[in-house]
Structure 1
Amino acid sequence: MDPSTLTNLAEPLSAHPLFKTQDIDDARHRVAGKFCAHDLTPGPQHRRFEARHNHVAGQSLSLNYLSYGCEVAINPGELDRFYLIQLPLAGTAAVRNGKAEVAAGVGQASVLNPTRDTCMTWHQGCRKLLMQVDRAALHRLAEDLLGRPLGEAVLFDPHVDLRRPGLQRWQKSLFAAISLAQNGAAFGTQMHPHQARLEEELILGFLTHQPSSISHSLQQGAHTGQDLLPSFQLRRAVDYIRSNLAEPLTLAGIASEARCSLRSLQLGFKAHFNCTPMQYLTRERLNHAHYLLQSLPSDHRVNAVAFDAGFSHLGRFSIAYRAAFGQSPRETLRQGGPA
């Protein structure tokens, strides 16, 4: 889904309504049930108060849409258990996390660190998407990414500039996840076959591109090549990918099989294949699908080939296939399959 399209939607995640209420105490109680206890104080236009909260949970993160109808002051203190990334779709907000103050609006998001005191004012007309990330899950991925333990929580710069190229890509991934959730294809009771990978990409994408207390370590490893993957570990990773194309592989799972850190895995694939491990996985899946489509009878079902090659979304498979081979999967099947 295109970001501008999502921004113009009246109510993202409307397929997953949690509540709608004009009762301030009820809103505070129900939002706290998904996040944490907090003070909620409406501003001068309190008669316009109408809280709407859409929510869908995954394994390590949740996606949320929240609005209050009027200006509200929110004081949760320290979040403790989770990080909260907030993207305004309309309106503005003043956010303080620790000593940092963010003037948030469309294009300028914020992230709340769980170990820093937080207070916010959402101005009238402010509507936000929120990605809540389990603190322990993010910490594990950060340690895997660095290949060493971290004694303290990762601290992000609370200012999230969505104009940065890396964060633009991350935002597109987030909006794609929201679209899947809206259509019942991921999160909630109908978990996506690749749910773990979907969440991993969202968390790792933010860890990689948003400035934080580990950014210097990540950049230093990339510049010095100190984490470059030995050839035997690279071979393990490649063999594991090729032997499990139809499985819902994650970056952490591939690194575990190769017995290396996530960072070493990423740098190794960049050095040897000029792509990320997940891009390599997609390329191998497309090559396998291309082989199957040329080998199977012409009346075989394209969606069965996509599934056998590890693709769970036929539309995205068709787009990627055409980009790689210059024709649709069905055209290859009709031309190459045996009689």
Structure 2
Amino acid sequence: MEAIRNVLVQDASGAPSTRYRLVASTDWDAVQHWCQQVYMPYTTTPVGCVRSPNSVLDVIRIGHFTVSRFSYGVPVHLTDFSAEAGTGMVLTTLKGAIRHWSSGREYLDTGIGEAFLVDNSRTYYCLDADPNHLQLNLTFRHDAMAALHERWFGLPADERMWTKTFRFGGTQSSWIDLLSFVCRCITEMPEAVEHGPLGRRLEEMLGVHLLTLWRNQLTHPQQPTQHRVAPKHVLAAEQYMRDHGRDAPTLSELAQSAHVSVRTLNAAFREHRGCTPMEALREVRLSGVRAELMIAPAGTRVCDIAATWGYINLGMLASSYRRRFGESPSATLARR
């Protein structure tokens, strides 16, 4: 899944890229403005203690599809998706987990490599995303998908089909293989994807693949593997990271805070978060530094903020920061 994880944020040489960046912000209004342009109008509520987002949104168009790589950077509940917008979404989970609600009581969880399909113009939908969530989303127009169905299958789609929501994919699935191919094309041949016949072919491949899955779901419902919600010791360790990230806790301290062994914590993070506890901690700390750089008052130096987060080696911080965010800490500070 490497091509999917890195699409829109790395160029063909593997260097960080902000070519497709619409917003990187800790301001709710700025984030919501762009999200409603890219997706549709909806309501966002942060979960738990109210805090600023740490959002990054990168976007490219492939025909009528809008492909976006996005995270709020905090746990959120999303609801009130606009049916009038006439759009739907495919959300493929790259990190963390998302709970997708199709009614007040019915939900499905998606883990890494799994996707969820919903036509928001035809059915109810809301979601809960955990603190580590990261998705590659495809937003589609209902009328374009309906026309594609009639062109390829020779008749209008059964109206019941559009109301079906379902989970699909998985790291070894045809969906991930197709999405990986599309993402490699975006990275290696962006102009051809955005403006050439290759983009039109990719648009059609994505659309027909999704419609085929949709038709199969209507006639032969499948029961994909149910992901378990992250256990309490993972959530406890994540809370400890947020509360004590400035102190750079050790792996042993994280395990102790969660009341489990180091081995158990490592295994749980790999299963439910797709990373190690220390990788998750590094993300919390780097994101914390970035959030403070973006709101720092005049006269603040990078070394001042680095010191409050326990970073002594500024060169190592700068290297990790650049790999994660595609720019140096000083560049972020200069843009505030």
Deviations along 1:72-111, whole A, 9 cap, x unmatched? 1111334441220001100011111346412122133211
Q: Is the 8 A contact 2:40 2:82 kept in 1?
A: no
Aligned residue type for 1:18: L
SS state at 1:136 partner: helix
Q: 1:206 to 1:149 in 2, by over 3 A?
A: closer
Deviation at 1:193, TM superposition (A): 2.7
What is the rounded CA distance, in whole Å, between the counterparts of 1:87 and 1:118 in structure 2? 16
Work out the percentage of aligned pairs sharing the same amino acid: 17
What is the rounded CA distance, in whole Å, between the counterparts of 2:20 and 2:201 in structure 1? 22
Size of the aligned set, in residue pairs, is 211
Q: Is the 8 A contact 2:46 2:76 kept in 1?
A: yes
Q: 1:56 to 1:10 in 2, by over 3 A?
A: closer
The reply on whether 1:202 has 2:191 as its aligned counterpart is no
SS state at 1:36 partner: coil
Q: 1:11 to 1:210 in 2, by over 3 A?
A: farther
Residues 69-218 of structure 1 aligned to structure 2 (within 5 Å): 69-80=73-84, 81-98=86-103, 100-114=106-120, 115-150=122-157, 152=159, 154-155=161-162, 157-163=164-170, 168-186=173-191, 190-210=194-214, 215=219
Aligned residue type for 1:108: E
Q: CA RMSD in A?
A: 2.8
Q: Is the 8 A contact 1:156 1:212 kept in 2?
A: no
Rg larger for: 1
Match of 1:277 in 2: none
Q: 1:73 to 1:23 in 2, by over 3 A?
A: same
What is the rounded CA distance, in whole Å, between the counterparts of 2:95 and 2:40 in structure 1? 24
Deviation at 1:150, TM superposition (A): 3.8
Q: 1:109 to 1:144 in 2, by over 3 A?
A: same
Deviation at 1:204, TM superposition (A): 0.4
Deviation at 1:19, TM superposition (A): 0.6
SS state at 1:154 partner: helix
TM-score normalized with structure 1 length: 0.55
What is the rounded CA distance, in whole Å, between the counterparts of 2:21 and 2:123 in structure 1? 30
Match of 2:21 in 1: 17
SS state at 2:156 partner: coil
What is the rounded CA distance, in whole Å, between the counterparts of 2:51 and 2:44 in structure 1? 14
Worse overlay, 135-144 or 122-131 = 135-144
What is the rounded CA distance, in whole Å, between the counterparts of 1:121 and 1:63 in structure 2? 21
Deviation at 1:6, TM superposition (A): 3.3
Q: 1:9 to 1:144 in 2, by over 3 A?
A: closer
Deviations along 1:97-145, whole A, 9 cap, x unmatched? 3464121221332112221122111110100000112211111121223
TM-score normalized with structure 2 length: 0.56
Deviation at 1:18, TM superposition (A): 0.8
Deviation at 1:48, TM superposition (A): 5.3
Q: 1:77 to 1:212 in 2, by over 3 A?
A: farther
Q: Is the 8 A contact 2:7 2:183 kept in 1?
A: no
What is the rounded CA distance, in whole Å, between the counterparts of 2:90 and 2:154 in structure 1? 25
What is the rounded CA distance, in whole Å, between the counterparts of 1:187 and 1:154 in structure 2? 33
What is the rounded CA distance, in whole Å, between the counterparts of 2:217 and 2:169 in structure 1? 19
Deviations along 1:144-191, whole A, 9 cap, x unmatched? 2331234637326423221497xx223222222223223452577x42
Mark the runs of 5 or more structure 1 residues left unpaired by the alignment: 217-339
- Decide which of 33, 36, 40 is 2:37's aligned counterpart: 33
SS state at 1:94 partner: strand
SS state at 2:195 partner: coil
Match of 1:6 in 2: 4
Match of 2:245 in 1: none
- Decide which of 29, 43, 46 is 1:42's aligned counterpart: 46
Greater RCO structure (CA 8 Å; 6+ sep):
2
Q: 1:178 to 1:125 in 2, by over 3 A?
A: same
Q: Is the 8 A contact 2:119 2:142 kept in 1?
A: no
Q: Is the 8 A contact 2:8 2:58 kept in 1?
A: no
The runs of at least 4 aligned residues of structure 1 exceeding 4 Å deviation read: 8-14, 210-216
Match of 2:68 in 1: 64
Q: 1:119 to 1:204 in 2, by over 3 A?
A: same
Worse overlay, 43-52 or 201-210 = 43-52
Mark the runs of 5 or more structure 2 residues left unpaired by the alignment: 11-16, 221-336
What is the rounded CA distance, in whole Å, between the counterparts of 1:119 and 1:206 in structure 2? 20
